[in-house]
Structure 1
Amino acid sequence: MSDTTNRPQAATAEPVSTGSPGSSGKSLALAKNDSSLVGERGKTAISDIVVAKIAGIATREIDGVYDVGGATERVVGKVRDVLPGTATSTTQGINVEVGELQAAVDVSIVADYGVAIHQLAAAIRRNVIAAIEQMTGLEVTEVNVTVHDIHFGDDDESVDEEPRVQ
């Protein structure tokens, strides 16, 4: 008789590589071991709106992002800013899908003119992934960035000019 049959197997805490680009490979291990999103004593569910807010704030932190959202979302956001009792939406321009252990994010932005868009998208991707994985323990499978427009710095100055006719 072998003495290994009654010996309990040791659980490993090594991270499982998920293969997703920009991921450190530790997120799946965190989701399964450290954060206990699904455990023997219960389940933690994280709402889509929570992940969307985290992604929205992380996107706005990046230099070169002028605004978040497509044209319609930005117009609604400007109307919301003017109305008393309303606040700017942190989820504007952010769409998420959240599962039990994973999340996918779509981000729509307006970039500042002169910024390298591919580097801006990479920076947004890194920041969003880091923020979501750190705060929720969810593995971020993808962050898709759509650039809807470019903002020129002189666009704001044209509003402040004196009228040509008095």
Structure 2
Amino acid sequence: MPDRPDDQTTATATAAPQSSIRGMAPATTGRGLEAITPQGKTSIADNVVAKIAGIAAREIDGVHELVPAGAGAAIAGLASRVTGGDTRSLGVNVEVGQQEAAIDLNMVVDYGVSIPQVAAAVRQNIINRVAAMTGLTVKEVNIAVTDLYFPEEQARQNQPRVQ
């Protein structure tokens, strides 16, 4: 944000322009957003936006967890859990342009909650958090609810088979 009215901020993608996707400005290839001011340069990596979105989604009641999509992503997710890797962006995919971002996420919700209400709350929280922390406009948040979580099943799994 400019300190004075005469300061100008220019946001540019750090990668070579690609074809426009979803009406967005050219996307980056993982290097993120770059803002240049007379006082210096600020870069925001795509994985930072993904982590913000993942954390924002998990802040909503009714979201049990975010999960990766596809077999390869599931294996990568399992590996990061086993090795203690960072799972905050697990299940989140982002496209970051010069001024906008599009976010896709896969989640498991708690049984009994209103899925449309949870999805709307997740979408709004992601839009607010990403905008507040990065200055990007979130063009869309696509949510796939891939499963339901049943707490009573978890309780049964934690009980010993024999006593």
What's the TM-score once normalised by structure 2's chain length? 0.69
- Equivalent-residue separation in structure 1 for 2:38 and 2:80 (angstroms): 44
Residue 80 (structure 1) aligns with: 80
Residue 52 (structure 1) aligns with: 50
- 1:59-138 paired onto structure 2 within 5 Å: 59-70=57-68, 72=71, 73=73, 76-83=76-83, 86-138=84-136
CA contact (8 A) 2:81 2:87 kept: no
- Equivalent-residue separation in structure 2 for 1:114 and 1:103 (angstroms): 31
Aligned residue pair count = 130
Alpha-carbon spacing, 1:87–1:55, altered in 2? closer, same or farther (3 Å): same
- Equivalent-residue separation in structure 2 for 1:141 and 1:51 (angstroms): 13
SS in 1 for 2:102: strand
Shift, 1:52, TM fit? 0.3
- Equivalent-residue separation in structure 2 for 1:76 and 1:68 (angstroms): 14
Give structure 2 stretches of 5+ with no counterpart.
Answer: 7-33
- Equivalent-residue separation in structure 2 for 1:114 and 1:82 (angstroms): 30
Shift, 1:39, TM fit? 4.8
Shift, 1:159, TM fit? 1.3
- Equivalent-residue separation in structure 1 for 2:130 and 2:122 (angstroms): 12
Match of 1:159 among 143, 157, 160: 157
CA contact (8 A) 2:68 2:92 kept: no
Alpha-carbon spacing, 1:46–1:79, altered in 2? closer, same or farther (3 Å): closer
Shift, 1:65, TM fit? 0.5
SS in 2 for 1:147: strand
What's the TM-score once normalised by structure 1's chain length? 0.68
Larger Rg: 1
SS in 1 for 2:44: coil
Alpha-carbon spacing, 1:82–1:45, altered in 2? closer, same or farther (3 Å): closer
**Identical aligned pairs, as a percentage?**
44
Structural RMSD (CA): 2.6
Give structure 1 stretches of 5+ with no counterpart.
Answer: 1-9, 12-35
Match of 2:35 among 37, 41, 53: 37
